[in-house]
Amino acid sequence: MNGIFITIEGPDGAGKTSVIKELGPLLERELRIPLVLTREPGGIPIAEKIRQIILDPKNTEMDERTEALLYAAARRQHLVQKIIPAIESGKLILCDRFVDSSLAYQGAGRKIGMDAVASINQFAIEGVEPNLTLYLDVDSDTGLSRIKQGRSAQDLDRLDTESPVFHQRVRHAYLKIAEENQERIVMIDARESLETVIAYCLAAIKEHFPQVF
Ligand code: TMP
């Protein structure tokens, strides 16, 4: 049996990391197939190294197309080394971010254009798409105030420190992507409590893939 590939998306401060931390063990308890938790950029050593380069706040001179290509390169390696083997061995993969992040952040946030970013990503993924995407929606004011809470300036990465208008463009792009891909993307209001957001995520996964519970 082929596995199931699920991605979680959202603007900075949507709470993906906290959701995944609690959703992982809940899924593990209930699933009848193995679970793989992973993230982008990263998930495997080569891609984690690329992540450090992309997110290093000291890399102020990075060109936006270089940034888009590095995300796509990290994605390619992660896909062939971890995601595809997990799909082929019948696992459920829950991946923190995938191509939609590049469309929203590089395509809209950096204004490269979603079509250009989609085309370099098609080269990287060769048609491998998520079966389901959980999009945690949060407005940029709420998202930005969350990421700044309890973190010192040196804990913020190169994208966290972008301007509020950058983050607004990212959020609007996500809403457009969600609107245009309703068969794949479930939108969840991430201003709700963590428990509620986790419950929605779990319910969406169970509804789409009842055969693995
Ligand atoms: P994270 O904070 O969810 O771990 O993601 C790291 C940052 O990288 C976040 O600000 C979003 C950004 N990002 C992109 O700009 N493009 C991408 O393709 C991915 C995967 C992440």
Q: What is the CATH number of the domain that holds 177?
A: 3.40.50.300
Give the residue numbers spanning the domain of 90: 4-212
Mutate to test the pocket of ligand 1, among 51, 97, 135 (most ligand atoms within 8 A of CB): 97
107 Cα–ligand 1 center, Å: 13
Six token digits for residue 97: 């971010």
101 Cα–ligand 1 center, Å: 6
Global pTM value = 0.97
Residue-level pLDDT at 151:
77
Burial track 59-78 (b if 16+ CB lie within 10 A, e otherwise): eeeeeeeebbbbbbbbbbbb
Residue-level pLDDT at 8:
98
Cβ(71) – ligand 1 distance below 6 Å: yes
Cβ(67) – ligand 1 distance below 6 Å: no
Ligand 1 atom nearest to CA at 96: 3
Cβ(162) – ligand 1 distance below 6 Å: no
User: pLDDT (tens digit, 0 to 9) for every residue of the chain, 213 residues total?
Assistant: 699 999 999 999 999 999 999 999 999 999 999 999 999 999 999 999 999 999 999 999 999 999 999 999 999 999 999 999 999 999 999 999 999 999 999 999 999 999 999 999 999 999 999 999 999 999 999 999 999 886 777 788 888 889 999 999 999 999 999 999 999 999 999 999 999 999 999 999 999 999 999
What is the sign, positive or negative, of the torsion defined by CA atoms of 170, 51, 44, 19?
Answer: negative
Residue-level pLDDT at 160:
85
Q: What is the DSSP letter of 79?
A: I
Residue-level pLDDT at 149:
85
Residue-level pLDDT at 150:
65
Mutate to test the pocket of ligand 1, among 50, 77, 101 (most ligand atoms within 8 A of CB): 101
- Provide the domain count of the chain: 1
Residue-level pLDDT at 43:
98
SS3 annotation, 82-146: HHHHHHHCCCEEEEECCHHHHHHHHHHHCCCCHHHHHHHHHHHHCCCCCCEEEEEECCHHHHHHH
Contact 107, 117 (CB under 8 A): yes
d(CA 109, CA 172): 9
